[in-house]
Amino acid sequence: MDEEGNVQAATLPFRLSGVDISCDLTPEAVEQAVIKAKKAGIQHLKREKGFILKREGSNQVAVLLPSVMPTGLSSQELTKMELDTRRQVLYYVEAFRRYLKGMEQCELTMIGPSIGFRETRRIKGKSMIKAEDVLNRKKCEDSVARGGWKPEIHKDTDKMATYMDVKEGSWFDIPLGALQSDNIGNLYAAGRMISADEAAFAAVRVMGTCFATGHSAGVAAAVQAEYGEADIRKIRAELDRQGALL
């Protein structure tokens, strides 16, 4: 497994009710409220700017703020990160009630079931998706899926994501080799585990692309099991038959 590079920040979402969504709940408004709360002595507010997601006609919002920079995946470390981010949630609720207009009567209705990791370990594949492949929307003959997101990099728990510019329109291809283990003949990866460099990974880890690579990995494994080899023509033909975008 590839453990090179710095891991991206992990986030725990939560939901609030009783919110006046007509008020300014932009990342800039959140930042001003959190700064005021910090000055007033409210602790455990690690990130100052984050997203509050509204839904028209509802007084409930989803909040993406509590964050932590993962240091490992042992049970002790995972427990520590869960405790840390869940504690952050309670202090953000207090900060919002006191300093963010529209949140005066908000109530905590749900905390995410588990912390959301953007990045953990990933496979060493027969080929690797690189940053230039994503930025230049590279196409390839052994493609088994498409990616359409720009690299979204979260390197600091106290800052918003950094986005890398890409060519407008189109998509980049994901080659079969990025899903295949370099040294285990019948091992495939999908989603956050495919072979990609640090910047490219920040584009392929998003949900839609994870669905596509999961579909492709399953079909490729089935073709290999039936025919004894991962014939790209057979894999692509079956994916096409099943309605995949290639």
Residues contacting residue 171 through CB under 8 Å, at least 6 positions apart:
137, 146, 147, 148
pTM score? 0.73
pLDDT digits (tens, 9 = 90+) for 35-68: 999 999 999 999 898 889 998 899 999 999 998 8
Share above pLDDT 70 across residues of the chain, in percent, rounded to a whole number? 90
CA-wise closest residue to 236 among 187, 164, 168, 176: 176
At 125, the pLDDT band (50, 70, 90 cuts) reads: very high
**pLDDT score at 157:** 59
Q: In sequence order, what DSSP letters do the residues of 200-244 get, joined into one string?
A: HHHHHTSHHHHHHHHHHHHHHHHHHHHHSS--HHHHHHHHHHTT-
The region that residue 91 occupies, defined by phi over 0 for left and psi between -120 and 50 for alpha, beta otherwise, is alpha
Q: Which residues in the chain belong to E strands, given as ranges?
A: 10-17, 51-53, 61-68, 107-111, 143-147, 152-153, 162-163, 172-175
- Strands 152-153 and 10-17, by their bridges, are unpaired
CB 69 within 8 A of CB 7: yes
In degrees and rounded to multiples of 5, residue 141 shows phi and psi of -75, -25
At 162, the pLDDT band (50, 70, 90 cuts) reads: low
* Range of weakest confidence among 138-147, 165-174, 176-185: 165-174
pLDDT digits (tens, 9 = 90+) for 192-227: 899 998 888 888 888 899 999 999 999 999 999 999
pLDDT digits (tens, 9 = 90+) for 128-159: 999 889 888 899 999 999 998 777 665 655 66
Q: Write b or e for each residue in 125-143: b if 16 or more Cβ atoms lie within 10 A of its Cβ, otherwise e.
A: bbbbbebebbbebbebebb
CB 180 within 8 A of CB 193: no
Count of alpha carbons within 13 angstroms of residue 134, beta-carbon side: 24
Assess whether pLDDT exceeds 80 at residue 174: yes
The pLDDT of 3-16, averaged and rounded, is 76
